[in-house]
Amino acid sequence: MTEFLSNLIIPLNLCLTLVAIGAVLVIVRLRRTGVVVILVGAVWLVAWSLPITSVWLGGKLETYYPNPPPAQATQTDAIVVLGGNTANARANWFEPYDRHTAMTRVDRAGELYLAGRAPKVVLSGGALEGDVSEARGMAHAIRQLGVPESALILENASRSTYENAALSREVLKSHGIGSVLVVTSAVHMPRAMAVFRKQGVTATPAAVPRQIVLPDDGSVSAWIPNERALDASRSIIKEYAAILLYWARGWI
């Protein structure tokens, strides 16, 4: 049900749903109500197709915590990397994917480790499909960056942000780890930090650099509908919905 509702509020899905409901209302002679419902759906779609909406609402999440360079990040006992990959790790949501500029959560954790911010890296993420957990996949990737196997600790069972925090807490306890840097996307960081702190973990944010910014070359106007803005709106809307859900469940 939660997945259904989160998908329903995605701009295109909700617009089509409201248009269908509005059309039915018009057919049954509730014309004024039907027209209002259709207009609400259209406004929702158009609003999220404008880059300014993503920049404003997504930016509120991305700038909630500071994002210092690796060498200036807080020194802790470990780095905790959360599974997931927002917007394919692209440097900018409004531009095509470029593997040369993309920065994953693993890339960020590797930078922090190599900058001497912590001696251990906890990789948190279960298997979403198949038998290979996200943690194992991240372990392979981070070893390619120069992080030794001896520094890695894997948490292979979590399937949500709540489980990332709850299961990582147990792993941290078992290894005598007190403080951690939490690595995730900037848009996800407010919820992640709230959950970790609710679990009693001494956590400091160390997000991947902001992605929801207009390109410097002026190729994207804040006020002109943009397909990438519409696509990217999914992550922002789902994040706000998840924050509300986590609050309702007492997880944050």
Chain CA centroid to CA 242, Å: 10
Length of the chain: 252
Confidence of residue 219 (pLDDT cuts 50, 70, 90): confident
- Output the six-digit token pair for 233: 């709106």
pLDDT of residue 4: 67
pLDDT of residue 217: 86
Domains belonging to the chain, first-starting first, are 2-60+217-249 (no CATH), 65-205 (3.40.50.620)
pLDDT digits (tens, 9 = 90+) for 139-170: 999 999 999 999 999 999 999 999 999 999 99
- DSSP symbols for 56-106: HHHHHHHTSS----GGGSPP-SEEEEE---GGGG-S-TTS---TTT---HH
What pLDDT sits at residue 128?
Answer: 75
**Tens digit of pLDDT for each residue in 59-76?**
999 999 998 999 999 999
SS3 (DSSP) at 243? helix
Give the tens place of pLDDT for each residue, 235-244. 899 899 999 9
- Single pTM value for the model: 0.89
- Please tell me whether residue 135 adopts helix, strand or coil conformation: helix
Angle at CA of residue 36, ends 34 and 38, nearest 5°: 70
SS3 181: strand
Longest dimension (CA), the chain: 70
Asked if residue 5 has pLDDT above 70, the reply is no
* Helices 31-49 & 51-62 angle (0-180, nearest 10): 70
For position 43, what pLDDT does the model report?
A: 94
| Sequence-separated (6 or more) residues with CB below 8 Å from residue 189 | 61, 62, 64, 65, 182, 205, 207
